[in-house]
Chain A
Amino acid sequence: MKVEAKTCHEQTHRPLFTWTRMWAVLVLAGLLGGLSLSGSSSAGELMAPPRVHTPPGAADSADEPLGPFPGVVAPEGTYEGKNVEQPIEFPHDLHADTNKINCLYCHTYARRSAVAGIPPTSKCMGCHNVIATDRPRIKKLTEYWEKGESPPWKKVHDLPDYVRFTHERHLKKFLFDNPDMSVERVDEVCALCHGNVKKMTVARKQKPLTMGFCTRCHEANDGPFDCQKCHK
């Protein structure tokens, strides 16, 4: 007797619940699941098509969340940076906030080079030859200067070696080419990626500076998407 030959095709449907309805739900779930799983990457609704540069003004629709200043959508993301021990505890707050020194005065390379640069020691001494010469930190600085050395500052904002980031182009886009901005407000531009350094002494990393952080901002502000633009 070939008992196995009898497969169970004589089953009758007993509608426990409607399968058609369930399949309709499935279609929807698949569609939404597929779309959202892959598409929810990055800035959600802000996702602009990466290739076409929309003409200026077109992006300024009202539902665009406002950045810290006109013409830019601030990159999202925060980071709790650790305190870096520097050879001299440089007070950014004192210089940039209290004394209202423009960021670009010291980080002068930012507008003409890929790197912003640490100011040369001669620049520090330019003022501190006369100002606050009795403070311990300045004494330490003077010591270095007299030895003919620069203080070995520690890098706080460091990108991996395969990443190319240029300060000059970002400043050009957000500051110099931005009709709503003036050079005096450069600190707001810097703050996009460096956090509010004005309120710190030694700079702390406050933004994650990850690729996602970069790409989200590039999406929101129509930056380029070519991998080779940033990866070397």
Chain B
Amino acid sequence: MSLVRNFIEDWSRYRRSIDEGGFHEYEHMWGMVIDLDKCTGCNACSVACYAENNLAVVGEDKFENGQGMHWMRIERYWDEPNIGNERVRDTQEHGASFMPMMCQQCNSATCEPVCPVSAAYHTPDGLNAQIYNRCVGSRYCANNCPYRLRYFNFFSYYEDSWPSPLDMQLNPDITVRDKGVMEKCTFCVQRIRSTKNAAKMEDRQVVDGEVQTACQQTCPTSAIVFGDLLDHESDVHKLWHKHQTRLGTTKQKKDNPELRGYRLYEQLNTEPSVTYLERVRDV
């Protein structure tokens, strides 16, 4: 009886802890590297994301209320947390610190277990997926996201954000989310999907560089590298390897502590799939 077989097989199927190397039957493990030294904070990625993913422009009032929908946002900080011990000067000597923030696609995501209807779940591609039409809008996931990268449709934006003919721009590969649905960066899953589809039609594997996220594609300084972490030939894997960042650990054991790779709030054990490379300043 396959029912019982499922039962028995699944009992501990995915239960492999980090110490045991984690679960490794992923088809892909999409990951990213963002070089904060190259990132100029120009916002091109953010607008590209609006264009690719049918993000609603919420307007002045709603933005003021904090209801903006920027899946990719560039944060700008003024302080210099760990560069030398200079006194506080009256000018901003080292410029600003820009931080492109989108869903970190955590492998041990805090949003997934709390979703009451499993609308947030982990895919075999290592993505932290959000199924819009399953979402009931409890917003628990957003509350539990330490990065605050989930955005909620507080209104039905369809009419206000895309007055005709702006609606002709809408990407048919991704739904326009209605009110009451949680949404977030998907690593441009529609692009991943269509590339995988093309590869499968040709009975081949997806090659590195074939899938480009909208933000990566437009980034004027190519600060964003995206690819499959399981593909050892991919740029993203090489960069993770070079900077000695690893999945499956809360504290990176680096031979060389000066290497720039780090993941945001690693200590929370969320296992983000995005490695940031530290910003550099010549002082």
Binding site for B on A (CB under 8 A): 35, 39, 45-49, 51, 160-162, 164, 166, 168-169, 172, 226-229, 231-232
Shortest distance in angstroms between A35's beta carbon and chain B's nearest beta carbon?
6
Neighbour of A161 across the interface among B25, B129, B175, CB < 8 A: B175
Could you say which of A39, A46, A172, A227 contacts B129, with CB atoms under 8 Å apart? A227
Q: Give chain A nearest CB distance to B42 CB in angstroms.
A: 29
On whether the beta carbons of A35 and B3 are closer than 8 Å, the reply is yes
With contact pairs A166-B197, A226-B124, A229-B193 given, residues A48 and B2 touching in the complex (Cβ less than 8 Å): yes
**Interface residue count on the B side (C-beta < 8 Å):** 30
**A16: min CB distance to chain B, Å:** 36
Knowing A48-B2, A162-B133 are in contact, say whether A226-B123 is a contact too (CB < 8 A). yes
Residue in A45, A229, A232 with the greatest tally of chain B CB atoms within 10 Å: A232
B131 at the interface (CB under 8 A from A): yes
A43 — nearest CB in chain B belongs to which residue? B2
Tell me the complex Cα distance, A93–B201, Å: 31
Q: Are B3 and A228 in contact (CB under 8 A)?
A: no
A169 to B193, alpha carbons, bound, how many Å? Answer: 12
CB under 8 Å from chain A, chain B span 183-223: 189-190, 193, 197, 200-201
Indicate which residue in B7, B124, B125, B197 contacts A169 across the interface (CB closer than 8 Å): B197
CB neighbours (8 Å) of A51 from chain B are: 25, 124
- A228-B9 contact in complex given A35-B3, A45-B1, A47-B2, C-beta closer than 8 Å: no
Asked, given contacts A162-B133, A227-B134, A228-B189, whether A49 binds B25 with beta carbons under 8 Å apart, the answer is: no
Chain B 119-151 interface residues, beta-carbon cutoff 8 Å to A: 121, 123-125, 127, 129, 131-134
Contact of B193 among A35, A49, A162, A164 (CB under 8 A): A164
Q: Report yes or no: A228 in contact with B6, Cβ–Cβ below 8 A.
A: no
Of the candidates B10, B124, B127, B190, the one whose C-beta lies within 8 Å of that of A232 is B190
Q: Is B15 an interface residue (CB 8 A)?
A: no
Give the distance to chain A from B115, nearest Cβ to Cβ, in Å. 12
Neighbouring B residues of A172 by C-beta, 8 Å: 200-201
CB distance from B5 to the nearest CB of A (A): 7
CA distance in complex: A232, B134 (Å): 11
Q: Which of A168, A229, A232 is in CB contact (< 8 Å) with B175?
A: A232
Q: List 7 A-B contacts (CB under 8 A).
A: A47-B2, A47-B3, A49-B10, A51-B124, A162-B132, A172-B201, A226-B129
**Given the contacts A51-B25, A160-B133, A227 and B6 also touching, CB distance less than 8 Å:** no
A49–B175 touching, CB < 8 Å: no
Query: Contact: A49 with B5, CB < 8 Å?
Result: yes
Q: How far is the CA of A232 from the CA of B133 in the complex (A)?
A: 9
Residues of A within 8 A of B125 (CB): 226, 228
Interface string of B1-21 (1 = CB under 8 A from A): 111111101100000000000
Residues of A within 8 A of B3 (CB): 35, 39, 47
